[in-house]
Amino acid sequence: MRIGKILSVFAVALLVVSCNKNGAQNKSLKTATDSLSYAIGMDVARNVGSTFQEEFDHDLFYQGYRNVVDSSDVKIDQTLVQGIIQSYMQKKQQEAMAKQQEEAAKKAEEQFGEHKAAGEKLIAENIAKEGVQTTESGLQYIVLEEAEGDKPTAADRVKVHYHGTLFDGTVFDSSVDRGEPTTFGVGQVIKGWTEGLQLMSVGSKYKFFIPQELAYGAQQRGQHIKPFTPLVFEVELIEIVK
């Protein structure tokens, strides 16, 4: 149940039954309205419990409700209420997503541990090859053609031609093979691309060797890119799209 719905149902429940918790507990169910009121209270309690668990303070909820109804001693500016609720829900969603990603990465490492080690070995050995330069993040690149044009920022959109392969030469994606360049935001692609494109001037052509942590990490991407796979791209920066 969404937060707005939870709070709306809570309000309905409190309008139907007394805010005096002890009084509500001692009332018997004599009419259909009594049963409805009690059932709403049960349903709200179950949903609040599953959403907020131990973090929800029922006493403060009742207090906040009564303070607004009575227009007395309201402790939070009304303009801040939605922001507080949204910030809390966003934080919980981020925590849940981070936990899910962590669990997925752990599972992938158990299944693809040998593949990860092999990829790390390829990246480590590649450093010694002629012309290879390495950035602080671990991105490796060779300048195939240099130019004197402008360099894009992470906020720019660019048009490029690229040819993507695994270290063994298996092609998994190529605008060159399709015969049509592609346009995208520099900050909307994998980390290795975002960093690498900002090294390039318009008109230049680089070859990137991207470690798995700057590529797709523990994610499986299509048929060829298994979790923890390092990638190789030849990239020609055609223009910065205005």
3-state SS string over the chain?
Answer: CCHHHHHHHHHHHHHHCCCCHHHHHHCCCCCHHHHHHHHHHHHHHHHHHHHHHHHCCHHHHHHHHHHHHHCCCCCCCHHHHHHHHHHHHHHHHHHHHHHHHHHHHHHHHHHHHHHHHHHHHHHHHHCCCCCCEECCCCCEEEEEECCCCCCCCCCCEEEEEEEEECCCCCEEEEHHHHCCCEEEEHHHCCHHHHHHHCCCCCCCEEEEEECHHHCCCCCCECCCECCCCCEEEEEEEEEEEC
Q: Is 216 a catalytic residue?
A: yes
pLDDT number for residue 60: 83
Judge if 126 and 193 occupy the same domain: yes
Judge if 126 and 173 occupy the same domain: yes
Q: Is 173 a catalytic residue?
A: yes
Q: Report the C-alpha gap between 213 and 137 in whole angstroms.
A: 10
Number of folded domains that form the chain: 2
Q: Is 167 a catalytic residue?
A: no
pLDDT number for residue 241: 95
Active-site annotation holder among 40, 172, 184, 238: 172
Spell out, as residue ranges, where the chain has pLDDT lower than 70.
Answer: 1-26, 53-54
For 148, the domain range is: 113-241
pLDDT number for residue 25: 58
pLDDT number for residue 69: 78
Judge if 58 and 117 occupy the same domain: no
pLDDT number for residue 53: 66
pLDDT number for residue 17: 43
Judge if 177 and 225 occupy the same domain: yes
Judge if 23 and 122 occupy the same domain: no
pTM, full prediction: 0.67
Instruction: Report yes or no on 82 lying in a domain.
Output: no
pLDDT number for residue 21: 47
Active-site annotation holder among 141, 209, 216, 228: 216
Q: Is 112 a catalytic residue?
A: no
Instruction: Report yes or no on 28 lying in a domain.
Output: yes
- Name the domain boundary from 52, 75, 98: 75
Active-site annotation holder among 10, 112, 141, 162: 162
